A and B are shown apart, each in its own frame.
Chain A
Amino acid sequence: MSKSERPNQLFRNLNAKVASIPMVLTALVIFVGGSAWTVLYSFTNSKLLPRLNFVGLDQYYRLWSTPRWLVSIENLLVYGVLSLVFSLVIGFILAALLDQKIRFEDTFRTIFLYPFALSFIVTGLVWQWLLNPEFGIQGVVRGLGWESFSFDPLYNSDIVIYGILIAALWQGTGLIMCLMLAGLRGIDEDIWKAARVDGIPTLKTYLFIIIPMMRPVFITALVIIAAGIVKVYDLVVAQTSGGPGIASEVPAKYVYDYMFFAQNLGQGFAASTMMLLSVVVVIVPWAYLEFGGKKRG
């Protein structure tokens, strides 16, 4: 194995190279090659089969003039902003509450986190049932005597995206809470003592001392939530199938439907390229902030 006389460069460390073949293939063929392929074919008019018949930006013009795509983007923005804000706020508050040296901490944490183990399909179907206007929450409240009570997000195209948001928050806030809790535990006990000695109220300590100190945790949480938002697909499929009408469509579903049902591959490729672009817009500044100055450890 380790001969001391100058071995051939290519065969040095051969086993490690062989072991890395799957990684190299995945990185080059799937991640780089696949993405490049999709971007390239998004400039073609491929229909049922991918064909290299370039039509410039036609697919993109058509994409941005399709109402369904515009609704998808609008939904994604509303859903994205709200789920970012609520996930971070709820996650942090829950973590702060659990950090008060309470009893049964493990029990509470287990309860807050268990939805995260469930798939989006299961989540979507449960909340579809809970939000069923006839038998679900609305029906129960009406049954209690409040006849005019109305809460049927899944059947009202104006608010359907909030129905999905509720389910998404139920499923995902536990994870953010766990991250935040780890962050809070990482803060030196002396900081708290110093703040207490100085007579700073707890709320102010959190807002002006602890949260700024937890910046890395918040950024990590932000990236995780953002990456999840762009990918949101199964939840919508299970909960509303994009309905009522097209009111709860999302980009990921647009891509899938155009690729595998509408047999309009070019549109699917253009839409997925837009998704890629949106991720790049989120990830690049983050990577710059995170790894720009210092070397990665």
Chain B
Amino acid sequence: MADLAVPLPAGTGSLGLEASGPRGPKPRHVFSRRNIFLYGTLIVVALYYLLPLYVMVVTSLKGMPEIRLGNIFSPPLEITFEPWVKAWSSACTGLNCDGLSRGFWNSVRITVPSVVLSIAIASVNGYALANWRFKGADTFFVILIVGAFIPYQVMIYPIVIILREIGLYGSLSGLVIVHSIFGMPILTLLFRNYFTSMPEELFRAARVDGAGFWGIYFRIMLPMSLPIFVVAIILQVTGIWNDFLFGVVYTRPDTYPMTVQLNNIVNSVQGVKEYNVNMAATILTGLVPLVVYFVSGKLFVRGIAAGAVKG
């Protein structure tokens, strides 16, 4: 395109747009009014988006006296990591004073099995829907997708009863099941669409060679669909790590995930507010999804686009 057109030297008018005179779009300079407006706007907006992250980091590195005196935007005069240490290992929620580390490990123990289980279920399910259709399968699939729009609040209590009946209410395994259930619609959609888009001949050839349901899944589908598995993992890790509602409903204080514990630390009414510890705790909680986001880059965008746009 002629967007980055430089002024052409005489005799090289090979653009073939206009024959006579200096017509056509003006060559754009780096400091054209358009560019100043464009980049100016984008930079201002970008600063707005970055501001909270900056304030979080800066606040968490200051001591409380400095916070009381200075303003939240100024960089720390004296960098201290004490708030981070305190947030991690000794911040209090109610009677417990062992910091966010407990919530962190709870979240790990919730997230890892939930991600594995939900993806295992949904990928096999999507594969069955794409390649092994049976009568009525699509009906259930439609119910599943429509169900994704039902507010969780409607289903919370019946699930409490079910979990209580099977003795898992309040335990981490109960929460893992809940995450697997609510991750199912979107993940199944994701995998179904991916497997549907794979060439049919591949599946037929494997059938002719005598491979069965699981054989085709493990030997052909699984190795060929690693990208979509990565997308699903990104989607689930951030989603489950960031969950609050299910955590607060289905776990007990000693099994609270990190988000719930963070909220309890920051919004606890007792004691003096330690804003630096609060912000350190907030960053710590946001760190896992942020790392996932920055490491995965374009795949993250693909994941949320897959999660957002129907197939």
Contact = CB atoms under 8 A, between A and B. Distances in A.
B308 A179 contact: yes
Nearest to A173: B49
Given A118-B242, A127-B52, A259-B157, A20 B125 contact: yes
Contacts of B194: none
A30 B290 contact: no
Contacts of A29: 162
A112 B249 contact: no
Contacts of A125: 262-263, 266, 278, 282
A20 B124 CA distance: 8
B301 A234 contact: no
Contacts of A174: 49
The secondary-structure label for the interface of chain A is helix
Given A108-B46, A126-B282, A271-B153, 11 more contacts: A15-B212, A19-B132, A22-B184, A26-B181, A30-B147, A33-B158, A114-B53, A118-B286, A129-B59, A259-B157, A279-B149
B310 interface: yes
Contacts of A113: 293, 300-301
B263 A273 contact: no
Interface stretch (A61-69, A78-86, A136-144, A151-159): A136-144
B122 to A, nearest CB: 8
A156 to B, nearest CB: 19
A252 B212 contact: no
B124 A122 contact: no
A146 interface: no
Contact of A15 (B146, B162, B214): B214
A23 B144 CA distance: 7
B224 interface: no
B108 interface: no
A26 B242 contact: no
A117 B128 contact: no
The secondary-structure label for the interface of chain B is helix
B157 A23 contact: no
Contacts of A24: 140
Interface stretch (A52-60, A93-101, A204-212): A93-101
Interface in B1-38: 1, 3, 38
Interface in B48-63: 48-53, 55-56, 59
B206 interface: no
A110 interface: yes
Which of B53, B55, B263 has the most A CB atoms < 10 Å from its CB? B263
Contacts of A178: 301, 304-305
Contact of A276 (B55, B154, B207): B154
Contacts of B180: 22
A119 interface: yes
Interface string B225-243: 0000000000000100111
A128 B263 CA distance: 12
23 contacts: A16-B128, A19-B124, A20-B137, A23-B140, A26-B144, A30-B159, A34-B159, A97-B41, A114-B293, A117-B292, A118-B286, A119-B259, A121-B242, A121-B263, A126-B55, A129-B56, A135-B275, A174-B49, A178-B305, A179-B308, A220-B308, A276-B151, A283-B149
A119 B158 contact: no
A149 interface: no
A241 interface: yes
Contacts, number: 255
Interface of B: 1, 3, 38-39, 41-42, 45-46, 48-53, 55-56, 59, 67-68, 71-73, 121, 124-125, 127-129, 132-134, 137, 140-141, 143-144, 146-147, 149-159, 161-162, 180-181, 184, 188, 207, 212-214, 238, 241-245, 248-249, 259, 262-263, 266-267, 275, 278-279, 282, 285-286, 289-290, 292-294, 297, 300-301, 304-305, 308-310
Nearest to B156: A259
Interface residues of A, number: 91
B227 to A, nearest CB: 18
A112 B144 contact: no
A170 B53 CA distance: 11
A35 B140 contact: no
Given A117-B293, A135-B67, A230-B151, A97 B42 contact: yes
Contacts of A28: 140, 143
A291 to B, nearest CB: 10
A15 B212 CA distance: 9
B134 A16 contact: yes
Contacts of B59: 129
